[in-house]
Amino acid sequence: MIGIFDSGIGGLSVFKELVRLLPDERYVYFSDSRNCPYGPKAAPFIKERSSQITDFLIGQGAEIIVVACNTATAAAIKHLRENYRMPFVGMEPAIKPAILRSESGVVGVLATAGTLKGALYLNTLATFKGDVKVIERIGEGLVEAVERADFDSPEVEGLLRSYIEPMLDEGADHIVLGCTHYPFLLDTIKKIVDGRAKIVNPAPAVARQADRLYAKKAHHDDTPFCTFYSSAAFTEPVKELARSLTASPCEFYDNTL
């Protein structure tokens, strides 16, 4: 079984890519929606919470865990790898391919505060930045919008425009999505970008890494294809979103952990 967790439902963008590559596996997903967003929270809290969620997912049968959250990866994945004898896949900073492929020498990064302060991101930036100008914006309000399944309202579009248009005005030819929630806003982001820059979504690469590490153990018993747990209550729009990503049976459990 493949375990996945995120501060909320953003990790479903990674789950979607995993299902494409590993359609016959079984999944258990944990959404820590009660504590969402992780971005403004202190690293020790995120580390402790990530350990609690990892213990829970192992208890459900997870043999590999995908930390489908940029902020949790930044704060906790080193700790998790040091303390658990199982594979972990985290969200790699997609700033590297953006920098290497930029022709204008300007790259935009839309992320949470926690991600932009994380060692993974900062080390990658220091290694590859060179003369490239990197414009960073904290996407305040975007995680909360996705959590309520608001992907394209005028308010959300206005928020996105306030973050993305200044990047484009400064010549950014790549926009990096530094939070797993943001791919659910992709249609609105594409509308704003209007072909002026490439949008970098790291989720497919993360799924490919999980595919490489996971010893496939597909089975066809009565186990649900995916069991979704949340530390808060699932709303119907969120359940509909999760179901839309697979045609296989799913179960939902509220107010866990």
Where residue 189 sits, what CATH number does that domain have?
A: 3.40.50.1860
Please say which residue of 201, 217, 238 terminates a domain.
201
Q: Assess whether 190 and 228 both reside in one domain.
A: no
pLDDT attached to residue 185: 96
What integer pLDDT is reported at residue 222 of this predicted model?
63
In total, how many domains does the chain have? 2
Q: What is the CA angle 179-181-183, rounded to 5?
A: 90
Same domain, yes or no, for 71 and 35? yes
Q: Model confidence at 214, in pLDDT bands (50, 70, 90)?
A: confident
Residues 116 and 242 in one domain: no
Assigned token pair, 96: 């590297």
Annotated catalytic residue 69: yes
Cα separation of 209 and 67, whole Å? 12
Point out the domain boundary residue: 162, 186, 201. 201
- Whether residues 86 and 208 share a domain: the answer is yes
Q: Which of 165, 159, 152 is nearest to 193 (CA)?
A: 165
The answer to whether residues 193 and 172 belong to one domain is yes
In this structure, the answer to whether residues 128 and 212 fall within a common structural domain is: no
- Identify the pLDDT of residue 223: 67
pLDDT value at residue 155: 96
Percent of the chain surpassing pLDDT 90: 86
168 and 226, same structural domain?
no
The answer on pLDDT for 110 being more than 60 is: yes
Q: Is the pLDDT of residue 228 over 80?
A: yes
pLDDT at position 218, please?
A: 57
Q: DSSP letter string over the chain?
A: -EEEEESSSTTHHHHHHHHHH-TTS-EEEEE-GGG---TTS-HHHHHHHHHHHHHHHHHTT-SEEEE--HHHHHHHHHHHHHH-SS-EE----THHHHHHH-SSSEEEEEE-HHHHHSHHHHHHHHHH-TT-EEEEEE-TTHHHHHHTT-SS-HHHHHHHHHHHHHHHHTT-SEEEEESTTGGGGHHHHHHHHTTSSEEE--HHHHHHHHHHH-------SSS-SEEEEESSPPPHHHHHHHHHT-SS-EEEE-S--
Considering the domain architecture, whether residues 139 and 12 belong to the same structural domain is answered as: no
Q: Is the pTM higher than 0.75?
A: yes
State whether 107 and 145 are in the same domain.
yes
Domain boundary among 167, 185, 201: 201
**For residue range 120-175, what is the model confidence (pLDDT) as tens digits?**
899 999 999 999 999 999 999 999 999 999 999 999 999 999 999 999 999 999 99
- Within this chain, do residues 113 and 194 fall inside the same structural domain, yes or no? yes
Domain limits for position 211: 2-90+204-253
36 annotated active-site:
no
Looking at the structure, tell me whether residues 151 and 175 fall in a common domain: yes
Q: The tokens 């400064």 sit on which residue?
A: 170
Q: Are residues 86 and 211 in the same domain?
A: yes
Q: Which tens digits make up the pLDDT trace of 24-81?
A: 889 999 999 999 999 889 999 999 999 999 999 999 999 999 999 999 999 999 999 9
